[in-house]
Amino acid sequence: MTLSWISAAMKVLEEVQRTQEDALARAAELAARSIARDGVVYAFGTGHSRMPVEEIFPRYGSFPGFHPIVELSMTFHNQVVGANGQRQAMFIERVEGLAGQILANFRLRPQDSLMVFSVSGLNAVPIEMAMGARQAGLPVIAVTSLAETHASPARHPSGTRLADHADVVIDLCSPVGDALCPVDGVAEPIGPVSTLTAVAVVNEIKVRSARLLAADGGVPPVITSSRLVGDARSSELFEAAYHDFARRAAAALRGAGEEVGDAGSRGR
């Protein structure tokens, strides 16, 4: 009997659980440290790596301190062709120097950290996001497929991959090409798995971070469904989480709260 995608995907998830324990624990420690110090954990991804970034916050069962960065030019794939098409998105994520322009919007501080998602770990923008954050003194967590990243030569001018610029590397354990299932009569495999394992990694880190924060003073407000806590409490938690996120974001954004005449000099 041909292995189903769910069965094949469960095996990959089990591989992540079996092999990535130390990396997940270290990533949670870095995230909890940033959040406890009133910093943020920036999360960035291009292409379909947008999905774990959106999973990290805001979702039911999530809390502020994680700061998603999603550039529509590299993640808006729905139209496929024409304006805002897939060709442009795939081209843009390889443009050198763009990451520096993205990071220029943020005040990168010692209490912050950065999590970068890239299955291949080969494109310029994710690599340079990690490089820029490390140059600013932030710890970097890379979530990537080690099989995929080493299946092709490095294409960044530095000769490096995303994993080379990380303090913690979490392997998605997805195979080369990502798709899992052979189908009779089709030459190419079907059914990618990296999104599933990336989302699993995100939620594992989220839960572990919450445990560490709870043991050390408390977790920021958790976005929670009214079906669990009632309408009034759910609304209260949503507003508290949004307020906490806005407060952290204002402190993290370069220029926020600065006098107009002083903003340019601080950005240099």
Looking at residue 258, its pLDDT comes to: 57
Sign of the CA dihedral running 153, 155, 160, 163: negative
Q: What is the pLDDT of residue 267?
A: 38
Confidence bin at 80 (pLDDT 50/70/90): confident
In whole angstroms, give the CA distance from residue 168 to residue 166: 5
Are the beta carbons of 239 and 222 closer than 8 angstroms? no
Mean pLDDT score, 46-73: 94
DSSP state of 253: B
Contact 142, 167 (CB under 8 A): no
**Confidence band (pLDDT; 50, 70, 90) for 97?**
very high
Whether the Cβ atoms of residue 110 and residue 136 lie closer than 8 Å to each other: no
Whole-angstrom Cα Rg for the chain = 19
**Strand intervals (E) in the chain:** 41-45, 66-69, 113-117, 140-144, 168-171, 179-183, 186-192
* CA 74/CA 83 separation, integer angstroms: 13
pLDDT in tens, 107-118: 999 999 999 999
The whole-chain average pLDDT of the chain stands at 92
- Using 50, 70 and 90 to split pLDDT, how confident is the model at 2? low
Residue 259's pLDDT is 46
pLDDT 10s digits, 196-217: 999 999 999 999 999 999 999 8
pTM of the model: 0.92
- The answer to whether 93 and 49 have CB atoms below 8 angstroms apart is no
**CB neighbour burial string for 39-74, b if at least 16 within 10 angstroms, e if fewer:** bbbbbbbbbbbbbbbbbbbbeeebbbbbbbbbbeeb
Q: How far apart are CA 117 and CA 162, in angstroms?
A: 9
**Cα 215 from chain centroid (whole Å):** 25
Q: Please give the pLDDT value at position 125.
A: 96
Q: How far is CA 197 from the centre of its chain?
A: 12
